[in-house]
Amino acid sequence: MAKKVRRQTAAPAADKTTVVVPAQDQKTLQALTALADTVVETAARRKPPHLDVPSRSLSNVKYNKTKRFIEMGNGKNRRELFNLSQAKSYMQTMLVSSGCKRLIEQGKTTSIRGLFYLLKHSIEGTREETFDTQDDCDPVIEDVEVMLNAMREELHLYAKNAGAMVGPITLIDTGDEIDCSRMGSGGYNIPSIVEPETVQFKKHDAKFILHVEKDTVWRRFNEDKFWRTHKCVLTHGGGQPPRGVRRMLNRLHNELQLPLYCLLDNDPWGYYIYSVIKQGSINLAYESKRMAIPDARYIGLRSKDFERCQLSPSVRINLKDTDIRRAKQIARYPWFEKKKAWQKEIEQMLRNGFKLEVEALISKDISYVTETYVPERLREGDFLD
Dist CA 333 CA 313 (whole Å): 31
For residue 286, indicate whether it is catalytic: no
198 with 174: CB under 8 angstroms?
A: yes
Q: How many residues are listed for the chain in this entry?
A: 385
Dist CA 82 CA 165 (whole Å): 49
- Ramachandran class of 329: left when φ > 0, alpha when ψ lies in -120 to 50, beta otherwise: alpha
Give the number of other CB atoms < 10 A from CB of residue 339.
Answer: 14
Dist CA 123 CA 360 (whole Å): 54
From 63, 90, 117, 188, the catalytic residue: 117
H helices within 107-242, ranges in order? 112-119, 134-148, 215-223, 226-230
* Sign, CA torsion 160/255/22/292: negative
Give the number of other CB atoms < 10 A from CB of residue 321.
Answer: 7
Angstrom distances, CA of residue 145 to CA of 37, 39, 111, 312, 369: 18, 18, 15, 48, 40
The string over 229-260, giving b where at least 16 C-beta atoms fall within 10 Å of a residue's C-beta and e elsewhere, is ebebbbbbbbbebbbbbbbbbbbbbeeeebbb
Dist CA 359 CA 350 (whole Å): 20
Dist CA 228 CA 213 (whole Å): 20
CA atoms within 13 A on the CB side of 75: 12
Angle (deg, nearest 10), helices 321-331 and 268-279: 30
Dist CA 227 CA 253 (whole Å): 16
CA 168-245-333 angle, to 5 degrees, is: 120
Q: What are the residue numbers of the active site? A: 117
